[in-house]
Homo-oligomer: A and B are copies of this chain.
Amino acid sequence: MATRLSRTESYSLLALSLACFGILANTLQGEGEPLIASIAFSGLAFSFCYALIRWLGNAFMHRGFKGKDLCKLKQTEIPETMGAVCAMVYLSIIVVFIPWPFYKDIVAATSGGGNRDVMKEIEQVETGRLLHRFPHNKLASYLSAILSLQCIVLLGIGDDLFDIRWRHKVFIPAIAAIPMLIVYFVDFGVTQMVVPTPLRPYLGELLDIGWLYYVYMALLSIFSSNSINILAGINGIEVAQSLVIALLIVFNDCLYLFVTPYPHPATDSHLFSLYLLLPFIGVSLALLMHNWYPAKVFVGDTYCYFAGMVFAVDGILGHFSKTLILLLLPQGFNFIYSAPQLFHLVPCPRHRLPHLNPRTGLLECSRAEFKKPLTRPIAESLKLLHRLRMLDVEVDKEGTVVSCSNFTIINLWLVWFGPMREDQLALGLLGFQTAVGLMGLFIRHRMALLVFTQDNL
């Protein structure tokens, strides 16, 4: 892999960075304009991440973070775990961004008019800004988000270093969610859920589910992170699916921010969501440009955990966790579809990624071969799935099931549409995911009135 930036790349990244710095300097003249600043920071995040992935590739390979691409004819080693670089750039950007959303409040706390040097009174000085109506709670929730994200990066790097066992690493996101949950407990402690209209006669308008609410948040983190980690195996799919989810959430946020005519009560939480997501889109784009077919770097588990945690934190602290679940439907389907192999009802080979046909250069679905005959109910279920076109089952002359395609949505796509090139496969899946996500959002906003008294849009 090239470890230097080409001249074009250098100049483009430099120009982008300078433009972003210019925009940032401008925001400080006015009221901070946090959304504009966030966009500028995302541009910086993209540039830094793009350059660092290039520069650090060799250092990572030297330290043993490398792997071979099994879906290529020529299997050269390329750097692994580059998602950690992404995550570090993201964390730095998101920390440096902290003052912007609070710029107006900081100016209000000083003598105003941007003249920050002259404080009004000594007593005010000694107590800091406590006497002012500074939105400490917003700050605390922003900090708790960063804490949880830092935590997942630490644990993710630990996993990439030491190859933690599958049944242990499922819980990594739950551990990383602890900082957020604890700050949530200490600072807000709201554990009520709005009850759907049909159930109100029995449960009332709001149902306090108490500690179960924390379990729900932890489970959402586990689901969000692991579902992205499971839908993996071909170039670019981990990053691109995360980008699709991020863009759909941004689209949903924009509906609240720009379509509703008056300042909406949910404006703040959707701004918060944008502040977290825009830099994520920046670093992910930079990573995708290196990870798209043919991949020059791998992303590592760190990236999948990190991306999933960004969504979980965003959904929980932005108060749209149910919408988030809608957007994770393809990942959820992939998990349920994978379950028979994950829980070893059906034999599971070590790798389930598609198989490269060296003659055609196209990917074909990979298969699980059954050396021992399957039990009758399982064999019959597989045959049923085959008839439903949800699996490709191979049967010998006596009617015994010999092999079947592996239980992942990626292989299913190949069963449906036949062998294809790796990037076409990725594009197909991403198109499917986008369509499902847009439909989910449509349903969420059009049909919400059927189960709740009002849509909160």
Which residue numbers of A lie inside 8 Å of B, CB to CB?
A: 56, 59, 63-64, 88, 91-92, 95-96, 98-99, 102, 106, 109-110, 117, 119, 122, 125-126, 128-130, 134, 136-137, 139-140, 143-144, 146-147, 150-151, 153-154, 157-158, 161-162, 175, 178-179, 182-183, 185-190, 192, 206, 208, 210
Closest to A100 in B: B186
Contact (Cβ within 8 A) A139 B98:
no
Q: List chain B residues, Cβ under 8 A from A208.
A: 117, 119
21 pairs, CB–CB < 8 Å, chain A vs chain B: A59-B162, A95-B147, A95-B179, A95-B182, A98-B182, A99-B182, A106-B186, A106-B189, A109-B189, A126-B190, A126-B192, A128-B189, A134-B187, A136-B136, A136-B187, A139-B183, A139-B186, A140-B143, A143-B144, A146-B147, A146-B179
Q: List chain B residues, Cβ under 8 A from A154.
A: 88, 91, 150, 153-154, 157
Q: List chain B residues, Cβ under 8 A from A161.
A: 63
Q: List chain B residues, Cβ under 8 A from A88.
A: 154, 158
User: Within the complex, which residue of B99, B129, B146, B187 is in contact with A188, where a contact is CB–CB below 8 Å?
Assistant: B129
Closest to A99 in B: B186
Q: List chain B residues, Cβ under 8 A from A134.
A: 187
- A140-B140, A143-B140, A182-B98 given; A187·B128 CB < 8 A: yes
A210 CA / B178 CA spacing, docked (Å)? 36
A125 CA / B130 CA spacing, docked (Å)? 23
Q: List chain B residues, Cβ under 8 A from A119.
A: 208
A99 CA / B178 CA spacing, docked (Å)? 12
A180 to chain B, nearest CB (A): 10
Closest to A134 in B: B187
Closest to A178 in B: B95
Q: List chain B residues, Cβ under 8 A from A206.
A: 122, 125
Q: List chain B residues, Cβ under 8 A from A139.
A: 136, 140, 183, 186-187
Contact (Cβ within 8 A) B136 A137:
yes
Contact (Cβ within 8 A) A128 B95:
no
Contact (Cβ within 8 A) B125 A192:
yes
A66 to chain B, nearest CB (A): 13
A36 to chain B, nearest CB (A): 19
Q: List chain B residues, Cβ under 8 A from A59.
A: 162
A239 CA / B338 CA spacing, docked (Å)? 48
Closest to A162 in B: B59
A161 to chain B, nearest CB (A): 6
Starting from the known contacts A88-B154, A125-B206, A136-B139, 19 additional A-B residue pairs (CB-CB under 8 Å) come to: A59-B162, A63-B161, A63-B162, A95-B147, A95-B151, A99-B185, A106-B186, A117-B208, A119-B208, A122-B206, A128-B187, A128-B188, A128-B189, A130-B137, A136-B137, A139-B140, A139-B183, A150-B151, A150-B154
Closest to A103 in B: B186
A272 CA / B8 CA spacing, docked (Å)? 52
Contact (Cβ within 8 A) B186 A125:
no
A272 to chain B, nearest CB (A): 15
A281 CA / B147 CA spacing, docked (Å)? 23
A126 CA / B266 CA spacing, docked (Å)? 13
A186 CA / B88 CA spacing, docked (Å)? 22
Closest to A109 in B: B189
A449 CA / B153 CA spacing, docked (Å)? 48
